[in-house]
C-alpha cells in the first residue's frame, strides 16, 4: 500500500516537473524608476539650485504619463515560458523554538490609532502655532517678522547665502512662497508622524509630543543641518528653534488627541465581551491596578 502511494506521488511529481507553458505577467517598465529619480532631483534642487529641480520636473512629468499609459486604457502584459519543478527542502536543525501558549506577544501594538486626517489636522495646527515664536524671534532680534521666513527660504536659494541680515529682514514674495512650501510640507509630514506615534504612548501623550519628540527632532537637525542648509545652520538661533518645536509639538499633540480613534486589526483579536465594553481585558486590569 505504501509503495503504491509512493509510486503515485512520484508519478505526480514527475508530471509536475515536466509541465511547462506561458504565464501572463505585467510588462516590465522603467517609468517608476525615472519618476522616483525625478522626484528626488526636485527635492535636491531645494537645497542646491533651481536648475536641479527643473531637471527633476522634466523627468517626473513624462514618467508619470508613461507609467499611466502602461495600465490605461489597457494593461500591458508579456508571456513568459516557465516550467514547474518539485523541490525538496531538508533541514539539519535539531531544535525548534516555540512561543509560550497563552501569552499576548502583540500587546505593545495599539488597539486603536488615529486616522491620516488626524495627523494632517495636527500638522497644520502645529505649523501655525510654530509661526508665533518664529515671528517673535524676528521682531525682537531684527525688528522684522520676515527674517525667519526668509531664513527658512534661503535653504532653497543658493544666491541668498551671502545676503545680509537687512536683506533677510525685508519682504520677498519668492521667499514667502518658498518658506510656505517648505514649512507646510514639513509640518504635514511631522503631523502624520505624531498621529502614528501618539497611540503608542497613551499615558503621557502631551509629554511625548510636546517635549521628547521636539528635542529628538532638534538633535537630528543639529547634526544634519550643515549639509541640508548651510546658511540656516550659520544663522539659526537654537534656543528659539527649540521653543518653536515645543509649540508645534504641544499644539499638534493636543489637536491629534482630540480626534476620534479608529480600531486596528489587533482589536478584532480580543474577546467579544471586551470589544463590546462589557468586561475589561487582563492587560487593562493590570494597568488600572494601583
H or E element, residue 83:
strand 77-83
Task: Give the pLDDT of residue 211.
Answer: 76
Give residue 203's pLDDT band: very low, low, confident or very high (50, 70, 90): low
- Cβ-contact 188, 123 below 8 angstroms: yes
pLDDT for 8 = 46
DSSP helix, strand, coil percent of the chain (3-state; round to 5):
65, 5, 30
The pLDDT assigned to 115 comes to 78
- Written as nine digits, the cell of 22 is 506561458
Average pLDDT over residues 142-170: 82
Any residues with CB less than 8 A from the CB of 264 and at least 6 apart, and which? 109, 110, 111, 112, 113
Residue range 248-259: average pLDDT? 84
More confident residue, 197 or 31: 31
Lowest model confidence (mean pLDDT) among 88-102, 122-136, 171-185: 88-102
Q: At residue 126, does pLDDT exceed 80?
A: yes
- Tens of pLDDT, residues 2-11: 444 444 444 4
Stated pTM of the model? 0.52
Residue 200 banded pLDDT, cuts 50, 70, 90: low
Query: What distance in Å separates the CA atoms of residue 124 and residue 190, rounded to the nearest whole number?
Result: 10
Largest CA distance in the chain: 96
Strands 112-113 vs 20-26: parallel, antiparallel or unpaired: unpaired
d(CA 79, CA 84): 15
Q: Would you place residue 252 in the very low, low, confident or very high pLDDT band (cuts 50, 70, 90)? A: confident
Per mean pLDDT, which range of 76-90, 161-175, 194-208, 233-247 is the poorest? 194-208
* Residue 127 to residue 190: CA distance in whole angstroms: 10
Say if residue 12's pLDDT is above 60. no
Share of the chain above pLDDT 70, in %: 71
Domain boundaries, the chain: 13-83, 112-266
Name the grid cell of 238: 537654537
Q: Mean pLDDT in the chain?
A: 75
What is the average per-residue pLDDT within 44-58?
86
Say if residue 283's pLDDT is above 60.
no
Amino acid at each position: 500500500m505504501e509503495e503504491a502511494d509512493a509510486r503515485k506521488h512520484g508519478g505526480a511529481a514527475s508530471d509536475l516537473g515536466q509541465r511547462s507553458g506561458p504565464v501572463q505577467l505585467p510588462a516590465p517598465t522603467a517609468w517608476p524608476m525615472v519618476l522616483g529619480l525625478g522626484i528626488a532631483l526636485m527635492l535636491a534642487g531645494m537645497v542646491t539650485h533651481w536648475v536641479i529641480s527643473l531637471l527633476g520636473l522634466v523627468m517626473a512629468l513624462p514618467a508619470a504619463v508613461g507609467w499611466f499609459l502602461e495600465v490605461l486604457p489597457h494593461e500591458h502584459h508579456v508571456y513568459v515560458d516557465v516550467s514547474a519543478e518539485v523541490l525538496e527542502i531538508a533541514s539539519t536543525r535539531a531544535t525548534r523554538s516555540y512561543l509560550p501558549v497563552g501569552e499576548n506577544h502583540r500587546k505593545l501594538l495599539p488597539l486603536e490609532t488615529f486616522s491620516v486626517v488626524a495627523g494632517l489636522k495636527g500638522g497644520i495646527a502645529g505649523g501655525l502655532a510654530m509661526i508665533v515664536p518664529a515671528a517673535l524671534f524676528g521682531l525682537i532680534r531684527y525688528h522684522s517678522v520676515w527674517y525667519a521666513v526668509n531664513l527658512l527660504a534661503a535653504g532653497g536659494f543658493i544666491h541668498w547665502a551671502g545676503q545680509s541680515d537687512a536683506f533677510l529682514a525685508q519682504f520677498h514674495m519668492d521667499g514667502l512662497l518658498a518658506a510656505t512650501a517648505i514649512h507646510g510640507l514639513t509640518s504635514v509630514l511631522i503631523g502624520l508622524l505624531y498621529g502614528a506615534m501618539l497611540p503608542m504612548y497613551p499615558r503621557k501623550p502631551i509629554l511625548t509630543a510636546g517635549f521628547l519628540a521636539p528635542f529628538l527632532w532638534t538633535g537630528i537637525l543639529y547634526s544634519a543641518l550643515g549639509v541640508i542648509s548651510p546658511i540656516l545652520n550659520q544663522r539659526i538661533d537654537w534656543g528659539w528653534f527649540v521653543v518653536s518645536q515645543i509649540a508645534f509639538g504641544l499644539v499638534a499633540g493636543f489637536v491629534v488627541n482630540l480626534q476620534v480613534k479608529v480600531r486596528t486589526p489587533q482589536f478584532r483579536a480580543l474577546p467579544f465581551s471586551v470589544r463590546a465594553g462589557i468586561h475589561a481585558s487582563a492587560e487593562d486590569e493590570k494597568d488600572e491596578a494601583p
